């Protein structure tokens, strides 16, 4: 996990807004406007006052560089910060600053020049209780502002921030040499035509000169009025730093921002015009503040299902993962983010939308593996699917060369879930392939995705290794995929294997779809694994159009495709999250979907959304009365598929050993399906009970109850023995905790 910190180095979440980066004072406009949006004028004013020192002067003179960089400038008009600042002043309860009871500091600072830059420096230092003396060669303070603002108003605006602060003012005092000053530090702000005392700026330090303890800023160094005020405030920080640590070589905080316009979601809105022609009313100010986008990069948080659901950004996620991988709790067992790690669907959307390509999903995958290696990841989150994968790669696995000893040039890899969902679709697809490409071999196996998502490296390596061996054994044919997820897994772990999608072959052979859409409207739901497969996305649309459907685009499609909730197998780790994701996906419109991932189809159908697999369309399958198979039926389907394929294409009869003699009500079947309990596991428990006699009898219901640990789950079954050896299962349930029973597992 060496890249733990590297992941978020480039993240733009905490970058300054464009306006703040352009502001001479670096006013936190996101914060300021946020307060105005809530109508909190008083607190907004305090933020403004504390940042700019002299609010009345700054809001009058600021040339508003923020307007030039505001993303709203082409979407209804740049936000009028000047009027918002004015409104914060107009509607604040008081403009008198807060008074803080702090002790005086013994250090003495001289400010040479009573212009606005010198006064800004004096204000900040006086607020921090340093003893400040301002030397002004004329008979009034304010410098060149006296020609720009009404003198009485200027005096009022200068005096107000000093309400609770004191400083010594020496008017008519011309400083001819700094040597005559015996002070701890000096700020020279003598104005554009004032003396510089032979000082030169030191480029290594903020406002530092080549003389120790002497700083310089404002118009004297060529800055305009507003920047001169900012200089005074910032120079005070540099002076305080010097007084504390004796160093003048710390540069000013860098301005600017790495934020980029692409990171911002612009919501256009016409600029609010003040009704009285000059200043905002309270309501107008709030409306204008609400137009502000408060620019920040939240692309991942907005689009990623995980980040939006949990309101977390990459930085927060990496922090939580870090304390989970390296527990800081006293007992060393804190595993704060285990559920979060197991809740990523690995759809890749976070990286897709990130302007700087941060791949939080890949990070979570790696952290998941690291957790598994420590043995602290709750296995229950993935065990069901890992066992299902083992079933696909063992009992239900099949590798067959092309029938009739035809030389092999292609290998059909339908994926394990298509056959689990509907064996006929695999059989029909293979029949089609053999018709046009008789040299097509067949492989029923899992692509390894469950082990990849579950962080089970040994199991994943074994699956990939067996696929590679089989592929090489068949003479390195081109793979034909039906499932985009399999294709994605192969591209990642078996990139040497050439491949194509089954759907392109339909198009190439000019096959007419079996279902006629009759002008009905559907939407193509792109599986998340097809994100970078524009060719297959277009093929599916072509086939759907050819079937006579009218296509309505989805908001989230093609490169923005979202996971149906199957990815990462998150449904066990966080069922409400999976349910939330499904509702969002199927709620995009009221039209049926056409997809090309059997998991998308099954999950949406189960939630009541009419969804066709493109193979349903191609083979003209009537899906109107289709009932989704249970988890147990998905296993028997795979066994039936293997049996039928061997019988139909290779004339091989297999024993039909998967028929079960169990009787269950439909209601119980649905319940077991919901809880992901396999009937075969319950049968294992019953066999154990009957063999060992370890079972409980309920004389009222005439049922037996037994339990057994299989893998890391304990299964309970209530059953009844029927005449003739049949078994009726009455109930089944399971838990993850282990019962410590010496001598019984």
Partner 1 sequence: MSDPKKLICHRCNRELELRKVDFSYLGHTFYTDLPCCPECGLVHISEELVRNRIAEVEMQLEDK
The only residue of 260, 461, 736, 745 in contact with partner 1, by rule CB under 8 A = 736
In order of 387, 421, 657, the CA distances from 634 in angstroms are 13, 6, 16
DSSP secondary structure of 482-526: S-HHHHHHHHHH-TTS-EEEHHHHHHHTTPPPSS--TT-EEEEE-
CB-based contacts of 106, cutoff 8 Å, min separation 6? 131
Q: Would you give the binding string for partner 1 spanning residues 45-84, x where CB under 8 A is met? A: ----------------------------------------
Instruction: State both tokens at 57.
Output: 């002067």
Nearer to partner 1, 61 or 572 (CB): 572
Instruction: State both tokens at 556.
Output: 């989230």
Q: Tell me: does residue 696 bind partner 1 (CB under 8 A).
A: yes
The only residue of 42, 50, 478, 731 in contact with partner 1, by rule CB under 8 A = 731
Q: Tell me: does residue 716 bind partner 1 (CB under 8 A).
A: yes
Q: Tell me: does residue 131 bind partner 1 (CB under 8 A).
A: no
Minimum distance of partner 1 from residue 744's CB (angstroms): 8
DSSP secondary structure of 420-451: HH-HHHHHHHHHHHHHH-TTEEEEE---SHHH
* Three-class DSSP labels, 203-240: CCCCCEECCCCEEECHHHHCCCHHHHHHHHHHHHHHHH
Q: Tell me: does residue 741 bind partner 1 (CB under 8 A).
A: yes
The only residue of 184, 623, 705, 709 in contact with partner 1, by rule CB under 8 A = 705
Nearer to partner 1, 469 or 702 (CB): 702
Within 212-342, strands assigned E span 214-216
Instruction: State both tokens at 214.
Output: 């002497």
The only residue of 694, 722, 726, 745 in contact with partner 1, by rule CB under 8 A = 694
Minimum distance of partner 1 from residue 449's CB (angstroms): 23
Kindly report the backbone phi and psi dihedral angles of residue 380, in degrees, each rounded to the nearest multiple of 5, phi listed first: -60, -25
Minimum distance of partner 1 from residue 578's CB (angstroms): 15
Q: Tell me: does residue 1 bind partner 1 (CB under 8 A).
A: no
Nearer to partner 1, 369 or 695 (CB): 695
Q: Exposed/middle/buried for 31, CB within 10 Å: 0-12, 13-18, 19+?
A: middle
Minimum distance of partner 1 from residue 569's CB (angstroms): 15
Nearer to partner 1, 87 or 730 (CB): 730
Choose the stretch contacting partner 1; rule: CB under 8 A; options: 272-280, 299-307, 376-384, 392-400. 376-384
Nearer to partner 1, 99 or 691 (CB): 691
- CA–CA distance, 554 with 464 (Å, rounded to integer): 35
- # residues contacting partner 1 (CB under 8 A): 32
Q: Tell me: does residue 667 bind partner 1 (CB under 8 A).
A: no
Q: Tell me: does residue 435 bind partner 1 (CB under 8 A).
A: no
Nearer to partner 1, 335 or 406 (CB): 335
Minimum distance of partner 1 from residue 382's CB (angstroms): 13
Residues 319-348 close enough to bind partner 1 by CB under 8 A = 333-336, 338-339
Q: Tell me: does residue 662 bind partner 1 (CB under 8 A).
A: no
Contacts for 475-480 with beta carbons within 8 Å, 24 or more apart?
A: 475/407, 475/408, 475/409, 477/408, 477/409, 477/410, 477/411, 477/439, 477/440, 477/441, 478/409, 478/410, 478/411, 479/410, 479/411, 479/413, 480/410, 480/411, 480/412, 480/413, 480/433, 480/440, 480/505
The only residue of 43, 243, 380, 399 in contact with partner 1, by rule CB under 8 A = 380
DSSP 186: E
Choose the stretch contacting partner 1; rule: CB under 8 A; options: 1-9, 143-151, 503-511, 696-704. 696-704
Q: Tell me: does residue 695 bind partner 1 (CB under 8 A).
A: yes
Nearer to partner 1, 65 or 378 (CB): 378
The only residue of 67, 376, 546, 610 in contact with partner 1, by rule CB under 8 A = 376
Query: What does the chain come to in residues?
Result: 745
Q: Exposed/middle/buried for 551, CB within 10 Å: 0-12, 13-18, 19+?
A: middle
- CA–CA distance, 166 with 135 (Å, rounded to integer): 14
Give the residues lining the site for partner 1 (CB under 8 A): 333-336, 338-339, 376, 378, 380, 693-700, 704-705, 707, 716, 731, 733-741, 744
């Amino acid at each position: 996990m060496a890249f733990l910190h590297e992941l978020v180095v480039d993240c733009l979440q905490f970058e300054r807004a464009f306006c703040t980066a352009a502001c001479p004072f670096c006013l936190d406009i996101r914060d300021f406007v946020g307060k105005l949006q809530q109508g909190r004028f008083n607190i907004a004013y305090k933020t403004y006052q504390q940042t700019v020192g002299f609010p009345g002067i700054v809001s009058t003179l600021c040339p508003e560089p923020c307007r030039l960089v505001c993303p709203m400038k082409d979407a209804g008009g740049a936000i009028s910060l000047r009027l918002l600042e004015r409104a914060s002043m107009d509607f604040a309860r008081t403009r008198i600053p807060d008074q803080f009871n702090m002790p005086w500091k013994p250090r003495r600072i001289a400010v040479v020049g009573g212009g606005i830059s010198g006064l800004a420096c004096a204000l900040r230092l006086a607020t921090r209780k340093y003893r400040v003396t301002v030397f002004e060669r004329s008979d009034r303070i304010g410098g060149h502002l006296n020609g720009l603002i009404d003198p009485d108003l200027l005096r009022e605006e200068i005096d107000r921030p000093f309400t609770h602060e004191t400083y010594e003012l020496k008017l008519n005092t011309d400083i001819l040499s700094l040597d005559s000053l015996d002070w701890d530090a000096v700020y020279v702000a003598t104005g554009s035509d004032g003396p510089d005392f032979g000082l030169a700026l030191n480029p290594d330090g903020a406002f530092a000169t080549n003389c120790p303890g002497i700083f310089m800023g404002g118009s004297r160094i060529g800055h305009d009025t507003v920047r001169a005020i900012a200089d005074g405030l910032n120079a005070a920080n540099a002076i305080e730093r010097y007084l504390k640590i004796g160093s003048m070589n710390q540069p000013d905080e860098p301005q600017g921002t790495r934020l980029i316009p692409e990171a911002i979601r612009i919501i256009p809105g016409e600029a609010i015009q003040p009704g009285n022609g000059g200043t905002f009313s309270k309501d107008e100010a709030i409306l204008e503040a609400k137009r502000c986008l408060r620019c920040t990069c939240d692309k991942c948080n907005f689009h990623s299902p995980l980040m939006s659901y949990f309101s977390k950004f990459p930085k927060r996620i990496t922090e939580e993962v870090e304390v989970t991988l390296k527990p800081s709790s006293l007992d060393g067992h804190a595993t704060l983010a285990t559920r979060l790690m197991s809740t990523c669907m690995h759809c890749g959307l976070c990286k897709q939308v990130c302007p700087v390509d941060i791949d939080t999903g890949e990070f979570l995958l790696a952290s998941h593996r690291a957790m598994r290696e420590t043995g602290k990841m709750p296995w229950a989150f993935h065990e069901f699917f890992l066992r299902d994968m083992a079933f696909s790669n063992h009992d239900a696995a099949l590798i067959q060369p092309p029938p009739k000893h035809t030389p092999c040039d292609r290998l059909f890899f339908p994926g394990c879930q298509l056959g689990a969902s509907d064996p006929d679709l695999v059989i029909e697809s293979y029949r089609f392939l053999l018709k046009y490409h008789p040299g097509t071999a067949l492989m029923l196996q899992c692509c390894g995705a469950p082990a990849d998502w579950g962080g089970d490296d040994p199991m994943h390596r074994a699956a990939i290794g067996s696929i590679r061996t089989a592929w090489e054994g068949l003479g390195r044919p081109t793979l034909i995929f039906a499932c985009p997820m399999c294709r994605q897994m192969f591209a990642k772990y078996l990139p040497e294997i050439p491949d194509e999608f089954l759907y392109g072959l339909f198009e190439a052979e000019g096959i007419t779809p079996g279902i006629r859409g009759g002008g009905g409207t559907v939407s193509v739901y792109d599986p998340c694994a097809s994100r970078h497969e524009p060719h297959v996305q277009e093929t599916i649309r072509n086939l759907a159009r050819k079937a006579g459907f009218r296509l309505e685009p989805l908001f989230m499609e093609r490169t923005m495709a979202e996971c149906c909730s199957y990815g990462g197998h998150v449904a066990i780790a966080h069922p409400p999250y999976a349910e939330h994701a499904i509702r969002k996906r199927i709620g995009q419109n009221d039209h049926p979907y056409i997809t090309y991932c059997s998991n998308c189809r099954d999950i949406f159908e189960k939630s009541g959304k009419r969804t066709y697999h493109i193979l349903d369309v191609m083979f003209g399958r009537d899906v109107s009365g289709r009932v989704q198979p249970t988890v147990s039926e998905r296993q028997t389907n795979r066994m039936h598929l293997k049996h039928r394929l061997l019988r139909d294409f290779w004339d091989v009869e297999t024993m039909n050993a998967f028929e079960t003699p169990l009787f269950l009500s439909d209601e119980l079947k649905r319940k077991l399906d919901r809880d992901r309990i396999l009937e075969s596991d319950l049968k294992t428990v019953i066999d154990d009970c009957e063999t060992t006699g370890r079972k409980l009898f309920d004389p009222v219901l005439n049922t037996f109850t037994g339990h057994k640990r299989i893998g890391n789950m304990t299964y309970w079954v209530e059953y009844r023995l029927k005449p003739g050896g049949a078994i009726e299962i009455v109930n089944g349930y399971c838990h993850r905790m282990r019962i410590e029973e010496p001598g019984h597992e």
